[in-house]
Amino acid sequence: MTEWSLSVLLAGLHDDIQQKLDIVRRSLGHPVSKGDASESVWLELLQTYLPKRYQAATAHVVDSNGVFSDQIDVVIFDRQYSPFIFSFKGQTIIPAESVYAVFEAKQAINADQVAYAQKKVASVRRLHRTSLPIPHAGGTYAAKALTPILGGILTFESDWKPAFGQPLGDALSADTGEGRLDLGCVAAHGYFCLDAKADAYETFPGGKPATAFLFKLISQLQFSGTVPMIDVQAYARWLAK
Which of the residues are catalytic? 73, 104, 106
Neighbouring-strand partners of residue 105 = 154
Query: Alpha-carbon torsion 224, 181, 188, 169, what sign?
Result: negative
Phi and psi of 76, rounded to 5°?
Answer: -100, 120
Amino acid at 53: R
SS3 at position 67: coil
Q: How far apart are CA 39 and CA 20, in angstroms?
A: 11
Closest CA to 109 of 179, 162, 31, 163: 163
Q: How far apart are CA 26 and CA 45, in angstroms?
A: 20
- DSSP class of residue 68? B
Neighbouring-strand partners of residue 54 = 78
Do the Cβ atoms of 224 and 81 come closer than 8 Å?
A: no
